[in-house]
Amino acid sequence: MKTLKLTLRIVELVVMILAAIFLFLMLCTPLGNKLG
């Protein structure tokens, strides 16, 4: 169970990082303009 909880915590962290990168790209690069 400890391993499962640790894995879920890591997954949450990765998802948050990916979401932050995605938002950064959308706001700060021409990619955001292309996608509207």
Q: What is the pLDDT of residue 15?
A: 98
Structure tokens at 5: 């909880």
Q: What is the pLDDT of residue 16?
A: 98
Cα-Cα-Cα-Cα dihedral sign, residues 26, 27, 28, 32: positive
Q: What is the pLDDT of residue 1?
A: 76
Q: What is the pLDDT of residue 25?
A: 84
Asked if residue 31 lies in contact with residue 25, where contact means CB atoms within 8 angstroms, the answer is: yes
Which are the contacts of 25, defined by CB distance < 8 A and separation ≥ 6?
31, 32
* pLDDT tens for each residue of 1-36: 789 999 999 999 999 999 999 998 888 877 656 765
Asked if residue 17 lies in contact with residue 11, where contact means CB atoms within 8 angstroms, the answer is: no
